[in-house]
Chains A and B, each alone.
Chain A
Amino acid sequence: MSRPELQAPPEIYYGDTEAKKYTKNTRNQQIQADMTYRALELLNLPPDEPCFLLDIGCGSGLSGEILDEEGYIWAGVDIAPSMLEVALEREVEGDLFLQDIGQGFGFRPGSFDGAISISVLQWLLNAETSHPTSSPPHRLTRFFTTLHSALRNPSRAVFQFYPTSDDQIQLITSIAQKAGFGGGIVVDYPNSKKAKKVFLCLFVGGGGGAQQQIPQGLEGEDDEHARFERRREKLKTKDRSGKRKNIKDRDWILKKKELYRQRGKEGVPRDSKFTGRKRKATF
Chain B
Amino acid sequence: MVRLVTHNLLACHVKGCTTNNFPLAFQDVQIELQEAEFNPEFVKNLIPRLEWGALADAAKQVGDTSLPPEEPDMMDDDLLQKLHHVLLEIHVIEGAMVCPNCKHVYPISNGIPNMLLAEHEIG
Contacts and interface: CB of A to CB of B under 8 A. Distances in A.
Nearest to A241: B41
Contacts of B9: 107-108, 111
Q: Which of A50, A93, A99, A283 has the most CB of B within 10 A?
A: A283
Interface string A63-81: 0000000010101010101
Contact of B117 (A93, A103, A243, A276): A103
A272 B1 contact: no
Q: Which of B3, B5, B112, B117 has the most CB of A within 10 A?
A: B112
A259 B35 contact: yes
A277 B6 contact: no
A131 B120 CA distance: 10
A240 to B, nearest CB: 10
Given A131-B119, A274-B1, A278-B33, A98 B114 contact: yes
Nearest to B21: A106
Contacts of A223: none
Nearest to B115: A99
Interface in A227-283: 243, 259, 263, 269, 271-274, 276-283
A96 interface: yes
Interface size class of B (residues with CB under 8 A): 35 or more
Contacts of A111: 9, 49
A271 B112 contact: no
A75 B39 CA distance: 17
Nearest to A139: B122
Interface of B: 1-3, 5-6, 9-13, 21-22, 28-36, 39, 41-42, 45-46, 49, 51, 61-63, 88, 91, 93-94, 110-117, 119, 122-123
29 contacts: A48-B41, A50-B39, A52-B42, A73-B88, A81-B112, A88-B110, A88-B112, A95-B3, A97-B113, A98-B114, A98-B116, A99-B115, A103-B123, A104-B13, A107-B10, A131-B119, A142-B122, A269-B93, A273-B110, A274-B32, A274-B111, A278-B33, A279-B32, A280-B31, A280-B32, A280-B63, A282-B31, A283-B28, A283-B29
